[in-house]
Structure 1
Amino acid sequence: MQAMWRRLSTKGTLPIGRSSHGFVIIGKHAYVFGGENSPRVPIGSTVHALNLETQEWGVCEPKNPEKEPSPINAASVAAIGDSMYVFGGRSGITMGEGSTNDMYSFNTQTKQWSKLTTTGDVPLARSYHAMTALGSSLFVFGGCSDKGRMNDLHSFDVATNHWEKQPSYDVIEGRGGPGLVVVEKTIYVVAGFAGREMNDVHAFDTTTKTWRTLTFLTPLPPRSVFGVVSMGTKIIVVCGEVDPSDQGHEGAGNFSNGAFILDTTNPQDWIRVTAKGDVPEPRGWFSAAFSDFDRRLYMFGGNSETNARLNDTHSFELID
């Protein structure tokens, strides 16, 4: 299986380099929110938008800036309809310090922020968790709280602003930096950091509310804080940290620029993709998003092996 990487020749008001940020695609625009340029120091609450057709960056000036979130790092973001949802994140340095469990929405058409008043089993405050969308619901998994690394799964109905805790699955070790992705009505937890880089995959059937663990003849090389998307029945994983830094979050670990695909209809082997074109430098601590209009994965920024935060944008397209 082969793919083509392209580095976008972007113009306009480029976001500064960052890691641990949010990145989503709504229509023909990609949106970047939050993150850090220096270790553990939140950049701010500005939303940047990239027109994927013209490759031009701009700033989304909110109509109600007084309601935007405080600067946070390591929040999770996902999109439903015209809105980007932001959950959790932290403003402090140590695990759990300055963490929040607030849910915000930003309507990309009206440019309005809203802090949502929620009900139900609200998740603990956390950072470095993952969030994905399925229908009118958001699903949040794992992350780091003041109680340590989590392995819980919660759903959030954006129509009612109601949280529901999903069945637990003790097989999954608590972790930060996991991948979370939807294929049809199944949610997949992929890898992450549980004191060591992981490569396990667990599936949650949202219809039966049951878990299962996948086993492979050819597993995914262990990693965390990587890009993951779904394309049809396939899960695509790109880049990520494959060996953590001995300096914690102050220094860069060892990163990958490899790409791997799993076909969930026959999940026996993770297939390494042969990459062509402008293959990005190895990186981690970023997120990726899939564009329905041109069937490509996009990613922005991340942390590099020199510990410099990046602000480049790449697309990834399967060509085989």
Structure 2
Amino acid sequence: MSLLASTNNETQRCTISKKGVYFTFFWVLLIIQYTSIHGLKLASWRGPSSFLLGDVPVEREGHGMAEAFGKLFVFGGAGRSSEVMNDLHQFDPSTLAWTDLTSIHGEDCDPTPQPRQEFGFAASGDNLYVFGGRGKEGLLGDLHRYDPSALVWRALSAPGSSPPPRYGHGLAAAGDRLFVFGGMGESGLLNDLYTLDLEAPLEWTLLDSNSVAGTAPSPRKSLGFAAVGGRLYVFGGDTRSSEGSSASELYEYDPTNRRWLVLGASYVTGNPPSARYGHGFAALDGELYVFGGTGFPGGIGPVGGGAIAARSDLHKFNPKFMNWVQIKSIVND
């Protein structure tokens, strides 16, 4: 299952997946309150209080989800038969109602993006953006914009150094720019960083080592990528093309100074999440949240010991105080 969340125009595509597991229902996470007991942060989880209304999307994984106008939008992904899709759905948290927007279009609408999974899906301003992914015939490198208020898709063409086709990458918005990081391309795992200026005219820029200072994250896919306070953050990811090996580092990118910074033990306090990939990573009220994913207990790969396993832990990082906190669950309705 692919998850994308946004808040205050800061969006991150996150992926949580486990082969063979699909969901036909929708859970809403409410962190109702924090309670401090013996130094632990505790929070409650709640599901919807009533049945969902409307046309609930069919089960899928590798899809995108983003917020605009107080609504959640779900696009694409792969279903139970591994068939990739390009349907679009809207969820209203206030009414718990789904609306299928696949066949609803405004005037002068471009064709819907072709079916795909493990793509970038992000919100910036009043628009949603789709980039790349895996389609029916291979990797994709196309860019699309969706205007929820007008129900209109636009296929975008931007000059400059555009990202090559890829999947499992990060897509995030900071200010009036989109950023693409990493993923899996035709040549293998990637750690390149691109930015797209959303002000007319659109233009791609490759932020390579000649123009960026600091140490960039190693090549990876299925990573966490989010924006807070105008800065971008990378957490975890799958760092090998096969077998799967998870990472646990947290990186910060400053677009103004074009500098990467590894937020290791000398910078942060608290206990960071263990190594993982395919996790949820999202910004909320100036903080970053990590949920779930897949990893090896005790280390970043098989050498660390233990069998690879899916996780269900929740962690919070505060960029202002540079502090990690694990949030324990006290209620599970």
TM-score range, shorter chain: 0.7 to 0.9
Which among 220, 226, 238 is matched to residue 181 of structure 1? 226
Q: What is residue 150 of structure 1 aligned with on the other side? A: 190
Per mean C-alpha deviation after superposition, the further-off stretch among 2-11 and 223-232 is 2-11
Alignment partners' CA distance in 2, 1:24 and 1:79: 6
Q: What is residue 105 of structure 2 aligned with on the other side? A: 62
Q: What is residue 305 of structure 2 aligned with on the other side? A: none
Larger RCO of the pair (alpha carbons < 8 Å, separation 6+)? 1
Alignment partners' CA distance in 2, 1:83 and 1:262: 27
Alignment partners' CA distance in 2, 1:222 and 1:266: 22
Q: How does 1:12-51 map to 2 (within 5 A)?
A: 12-38=54-80, 40-42=82-84, 44-51=85-92
Q: What is residue 225 of structure 1 aligned with on the other side? A: 278
Alignment partners' CA distance in 2, 1:88 and 1:171: 22
Alignment partners' CA distance in 2, 1:176 and 1:113: 27
TM-score by length of 2: 0.75
Alignment partners' CA distance in 2, 1:121 and 1:40: 33
Q: Judging changes above 3 Å, is the alpha-carbon distance between structure 1 residues 278 and 50 closer, same or farther for their aligned structure 2 residues?
A: farther
Q: What is residue 254 of structure 1 aligned with on the other side? A: 309
Q: Is the 8 A contact 2:287 2:318 kept in 1?
A: yes
Alignment partners' CA distance in 2, 1:118 and 1:197: 33
Alignment partners' CA distance in 1, 2:286 and 2:93: 24
Alignment partners' CA distance in 2, 1:17 and 1:152: 32
1:119 deviates by 0.9
Q: Is the 8 A contact 2:215 2:261 kept in 1?
A: no
Q: Is the 8 A contact 1:40 1:73 kept in 2?
A: no
Alignment partners' CA distance in 1, 2:282 and 2:139: 26
Matched, 1:277 2:312: no
User: Which letter does structure 2 place at the counterpart of 1:183?
Assistant: V
Which among 210, 217, 230 is matched to residue 172 of structure 1? 217
Runs of at least 4 residues of structure 1 off by over 6 A?
none
Q: What is residue 126 of structure 2 aligned with on the other side? A: 82
**Residues paired across the two proteins, number:** 265
Per mean C-alpha deviation after superposition, the further-off stretch among 2-11 and 120-129 is 2-11
1:171 deviates by 4.7
Q: Judging changes above 3 Å, is the alpha-carbon distance between structure 1 residues 13 and 117 closer, same or farther for their aligned structure 2 residues?
A: same
Matched, 1:127 2:187: no
Q: Is the 8 A contact 2:121 2:171 kept in 1?
A: yes
Larger radius of gyration: 2
Which among 192, 206, 224 is matched to residue 237 of structure 2? 192
1:252-273: CA deviations, max 9, x gaps?
x6211110011212325x3210
1:45 deviates by 1.4
2:91 is paired with a residue whose SS is strand
1:26-84: CA deviations, max 9, x gaps?
12210000111237531x21110001100100111223676111111111100112211
1:262-295: CA deviations, max 9, x gaps?
1212325x3210123347xxxxxxxxxxxxxxxx
User: Which letter does structure 2 place at the counterpart of 1:67?
Assistant: P
TM-score by length of 1: 0.78
Give me the CA root mean square deviation: 2.0
Alignment partners' CA distance in 1, 2:248 and 2:289: 14
Alignment partners' CA distance in 1, 2:162 and 2:227: 22
1:192 is paired with a residue whose SS is coil
Q: What is residue 314 of structure 1 aligned with on the other side? A: none
1:210 deviates by 0.8
User: Which letter does structure 1 place at the counterpart of 2:105?
Assistant: P
1:148 deviates by 0.4
Q: What is residue 291 of structure 2 aligned with on the other side? A: 238
Q: What is residue 140 of structure 1 aligned with on the other side? A: 180
1:140 is paired with a residue whose SS is strand
